[in-house]
Amino acid sequence: MTLFRPSLLLSSIAALALALASCAEPLTPPEPGEYLFEVEYVNFAWGFSYHGFVVDGDGRVYSYDLSDTPQSPPAGDEFTPGELQAKYAHRTALVGSVSAAEAQSRYARVADALAGALTPEQGACADAGTTRFTALVFDAATGKYRRVLLHQRGDVARTNTSPAARELFHWLDDVTGNGVSTVGDPFAD
């Protein structure tokens, strides 16, 4: 004979309610480092081209260009602050800015972008190179930045499916003056 235990039923319902409530809580954005976002372009076809833009925590937008160096793009997605400083120091120019409040507000959306899945890589172009739009998440515990892909186009295309990632990609495209998000890319919209 099965005994009805109201206290067990109530505690199970309470546990389920707590679990559902915690799933509904917004994600906490990672603490920002000195660098927040980057647009990087690399192409080995018809010569070497390696340049891009970085948005710092104060909202300044800098361009950098390593095309005249033998430096290849790093293979991984984790970087020390020194590695990024060296990368961004070559042929640097201030090309624009947004308010620090806007930069921080946009960076707060990175937590939502982290929840997005990446589409499979697709060959999109030949000899076009690769343009990658990323957020840079600093991990104080490791002392390293980790690149979070928002959108990638060119020879290999893929995108982050999060609406926040799409929003950040379009914003980053606008503040860096690339204008690629308006070009007919099936991943852009």
Nearest by Cα to 66 from 38, 32, 103? 38
**pTM of the entire predicted model:** 0.78
Domains contained in the chain, number: 1
Residue 11 in any domain: the answer is no
Residue 82 falls inside a structural domain:
yes
In a domain, 109, yes or no: yes
Residue ranges making up the domain that contains 161: 35-180
pLDDT at 30: 66
pLDDT by residue for the chain (189 residues), tens only, comes to: 444 444 433 333 333 333 333 344 445 656 778 899 999 999 888 778 889 999 999 999 999 999 888 887 878 899 999 999 999 998 999 999 999 999 999 999 999 999 999 988 887 677 778 899 999 999 988 999 999 999 999 888 899 999 999 999 999 999 998 766 544 444 444
Give domain status of residue 77, yes or no.
Answer: yes
Residues 6 or more apart from 162 whose CB is under 8 A from it? 112, 113, 114, 115, 116, 117
Domain contains 87: yes
Considering the domain boundaries, does residue 29 fall inside one? no
Q: What are 142's two structure tokens? A: 């490791």
Residue 85 placed within a domain: yes
Rounded CA-CA distance 60/35 in Å is 10
Report residue 132 as tokens. Answer: 């990658």
Give residue 7's pLDDT: 40
- Within-domain flag for 68: yes
